[in-house]
Amino acid sequence: MRNRTSLTLFVVQIFIASLMFALLGRLFYLQIADGPRYQQAALDIQSRDIVTPALRGLIVDSEGNLLAMNKAGLMVTADRSLLDRTSDKGVSVLTRVADVLGLEYSDVYARTRLCGELEKGERNGCWNGNRYQPIPITKEATENQVLTIVERSDLFPGISAEPVSIRYYPSYSGERATHVLGYIGPITEANLNNDKGIR
């Protein structure tokens, strides 16, 4: 009987020792061997980089009249990488966004397409930036439109809205001086086809 008790006690001690050894081994792996990866993962959860464009200054003439100023706007953006992960490649989401913003689906679709993915004649209005940057759909959304998108974010995955500063060139006596200040507008497909010097 005594041998059986001591054998049982020995087996329990071995079991507890092996559990302690396994826990210490796992602790060593998590803290020392793979520690930097988990440390970086914790930092990624705690912090993120938010890029905010600088506010541009006012431009006035010699009499103090404003030639260029900033006005507040609400920008709705699409994350192409998230939209491409959906089962229909974001078609249903962009359709709902077009309905909320009062735009044609074809316009919204064209604005969120990457120029590199389209044929030469179909590039009008496409996004010439990076797939992983937010793609602006509109910079003139109303508060109600933005609230609809933000409050129902489950219906709009990959779509976000944020306040943005929009450059505005007021008109005096029906004249604008935007070309003098350097603004000539975005380059269109027709500009690219007609003037080879732009490239």
pLDDT band at residue 110, thresholds of 50, 70 and 90? confident
Residue 101 within any structural domain of the chain = yes
What is the tally of structural domains in the chain?
2
Residues 181 and 85 in one domain: yes
DSSP-assigned letter for residue 34: S
Assess contact for 93 and 156: CB atoms under 8 A. Answer: yes
Q: Coil, helix or strand for 170?
A: coil
Assess contact for 135 and 78: CB atoms under 8 A. Answer: yes
Residue closest to 105 by CA, chosen among 81, 132, 85, 78: 78
Residues 6 and 97 in one domain: no
Assess contact for 181 and 119: CB atoms under 8 A. Answer: no
The span from the CA of 196 to the CA of 199, in Å, is 6
Residues 24 and 72 in one domain: no
Over residues 60-84, the pLDDT tens digits come to 888 888 888 888 889 999 988 888 8
Residues 130 and 161 in one domain: yes
Residues 143 and 193 in one domain: yes
Residues 79 and 9 in one domain: no
Kindly report the pTM of this predicted structure.
0.58
The contacts of residue 39 (CB under 8 Å, 6+ apart) are: none
Residue 184 within any structural domain of the chain = yes
Residues 22 and 111 in one domain: no
Give the dihedral sign, CA 95/101/106/111: negative
Mean pLDDT for the chain overall = 82
pLDDT band at residue 183, thresholds of 50, 70 and 90? low
Assess contact for 126 and 113: CB atoms under 8 A. Answer: yes
Residue 62 within any structural domain of the chain = no
Residue 40 within any structural domain of the chain = yes
Residue 56 within any structural domain of the chain = no
Range of the domain at 126: 68-198
Residue 52 within any structural domain of the chain = no
Residue 29 within any structural domain of the chain = yes
Residue 156 within any structural domain of the chain = yes
The span from the CA of 158 to the CA of 123, in Å, is 22
